[in-house]
Structure 1
Amino acid sequence: MGYTLDFTVVLDALPSLLWGCLGTIGLALSGMTLALAVGVGGVVARGSSRRWLRSIVIAFVELVRNTPFLVQIFFLFFALPNVGLTLNPTVTAIIALGLNGGAYAIEIIRGGVQSIDKGQIEAGLALGLHKGQVFRMIVLKPALRAIYPSLTGQFIMLTLTSSICSAISAYELTSVAQRIESETFRSFEVYFTITLMYLAISWLLMTGFSVFSRRYFDYPTR
């Protein structure tokens, strides 16, 4: 028996799918913000004179980068309640995305920081700036400019990774699609539609990152 396409179920469920898109974007942006904070903080800690602090950062990066994201989010959601820490699915998803993206951001940002000429840092210290000001004013912005394409590419991947958060019933596009598919049994139509929606989300983020780059990192020529 042939399969007859019927996209009316998708049209009927379109409002729910659009809300799912907003859920995905919300998770992604929250995860990106946390990942950037973890990345910058991790780079600062990695450059600390305290060996134990550097060791913690190195161990964190290796642990996250060498374990599956699904295992990480399951650990946060299912294992932590056994030690008295219970998180709802959305908070768990944001933390998992932030920690996962942060581990990769640490290495990306560290590479950018190491590309800065040490003479500029020494000049900043000679002018009386303390280390925090030197890092923020002399190191961080040029480093971010150098690594911006790699960092934004990682954030796009983080957005797509958010689909795995459906495994703990976090509210996002894939979890909404799974519910609709289980009710209608129209697998092709539902998953074909959310494929296009994920493409649209990625395109919107790439466009936003491009606009930000032109505004804050590209200087006009005279």
Structure 2
Amino acid sequence: MTYEFDFAAVLEYWPLLVQGTWTTLRLTFFCTIFGILIGAFCAVVRTGGPGWARHLVGLYVEFIRNTPLLIQSYFLIFGIASMGVRLPILVGATIALTINIGAYTTEIVRAGIESIHRGQLEAAECLGLSRVQTYLHVVIRPALERVYPALASQYVLLMLASSILSSVGVEELFGMANRIQSDTFRNFEVFVVLGVLYLILAVIVRAGFALLGLALFPRRRKLGTPL
């Protein structure tokens, strides 16, 4: 028995694929912004905050990094709804992904902060910089510059991991592919197209991070350091 490939039957559903791709890109964009903000804040708290705050951030990081994203998403999306707070499914998915990626970002940025030499902090004190100015100009920016390649890779993985949210009703790219698969019964063709689309998206997201890195870190651009 031979199998006849029919990609045309799958590509007829291109509007659904475009819609799913757009949803995936929106999820990635908003989760990247909020995830970096949460991660940078928690990293600062974990490295220089009061003891109780450091322990609290540590519990958050360990809990998120040691439980599956699917379980986190389920309890966040449906847990919020069970408390009477009705949110659009895309908003709930954004919250779930942001909380997840925030924990990983915290550890990456913390590594960057801890790589800052103590002498630079002492020099900032000698110049009369306030604590806030020291963290903004002497700690956070150089730390982000050092760990930027790791952050970029982590957020590409975030884009790919968003496919898990189709299991809780989010109609991103993988969710739309499931709909096409149930209509056409062309499983192999659907997953081939899906793999190609995710590969293209990964290249686009990585290129976007590379361009952003060139804009944010001109020293890397001058030195030709990979982003």
TM-score of the aligned structures, taking structure 1 as reference length: 0.94
| Cα deviations by residue, 1:34-66 (Å, 9 ceiling, x for unpaired) | 110110110122134422211110000000000
Q: What is the alpha-carbon distance in structure 2 between the residues aligned to residue 123 and residue 48 of structure 1?
A: 18
Mapped to 2, the partners of 1:170 and 1:137 lie a distance apart of 39
In structure 1, the residue matched to 2:62 is 62
Q: Does 1:120 align with 2:120?
A: yes
Matches within 5 A, 1:142-157: 142-157=142-157
> How far, CA to CA, are the matches of 1:195 and 1:33 in structure 2?
26
1:133-168 deviation per Cα after TM superposition (whole angstroms, max 9, x unaligned):
111111111111110111111101111000011112
Q: Which residue pairs with 1:42 in the alignment?
A: 42
Match of 1:212 in 2: 212
With 35-44 and 9-18 compared, the bigger mean Cα shift is at 9-18
How far is 1:180 from its partner? 1.0
1:193 is aligned to 193
- Superposition pairs for residues 133-148 of structure 1, below 5 Å? 133-148=133-148
> Contact 1:77 / 1:86 at 8 angstroms: preserved in 2?
no
1:183 alignment counterpart: 183
Distance across 2 between alignment mates of 1:214 and 1:32:
17
Q: Deviations over 1:8-35 (max 9, x none)?
A: 1222111220221111011111111111
Residue range with higher mean Cα deviation, 167-176 or 44-53? 44-53
Q: Is contact 2:45-2:57 (8 Å) kept?
A: yes
Q: How many angstroms does 1:216 deviate by?
A: 3.0
Q: Cα distance, 1:212 vs. partner?
A: 2.3
The C-alpha deviation readout for 1:157-203, integer Å capped at 9, x for no partner, is 11100001111221310111111111111111111101100000000
| Sequence identity (%) | 38
**Given residue 193 of structure 1, which amino acid in structure 2 is its aligned partner?**
V
1:168 paired with 2:132, answer: no
Letter in 1 for 2:11: L
Map of 2:21 onto structure 1: 21
Quote the offset at 1:219 in angstroms.
4.2
State the shift of 1:81 in Å: 2.8
Q: Structure 2: which amino acid aligns with 1:41? A: F
Q: Quick check: 2:77–2:96 contact (8 Å CA) kept in 1? A: no
Compared CA separation, residues 20 and 113, structure 1 to 2 (3 A): same
C-alpha distance in 2, partners of 1:141/1:46? 17
Distance (whole Å) between structure 2 residues aligned to residue 78 and residue 198 of structure 1: 27
Greater mean alpha carbon deviation, residues 118-127 or residues 142-151? 118-127
- SS of the residue corresponding to residue 129 of structure 1 reads coil
SS state of the match for residue 208, structure 1?
helix
Q: Indicate the residue corresponding to 1:203 in structure 2.
A: 203
- For 1:77 and 1:49, how far apart are their aligned partners in 2? 30
Q: Could you tell me whether the CA contact under 8 Å between 1:181 and 1:190 is conserved in 2?
A: yes
Q: Find the aligned partners of 2:82 and 2:10 in 1 and give their Cα distance.
A: 40
SS where residue 70 of structure 1 aligns?
Answer: helix
Distance, in Å, in 1 between the alignment partners of 2:138 and 2:108 is 18
What SS does structure 2 have at the residue aligned with 1:116? coil
SS in 2 for 1:47: helix
The 8 Å contact of residues 46 and 58 in structure 1, kept in 2 or not, is answered as yes
Aligned to 2:109, what secondary structure does the other structure show?
Answer: helix
SS in 1 for 2:87: coil
Q: Where in structure 2 are there 5+ consecutive unaligned residues?
A: none
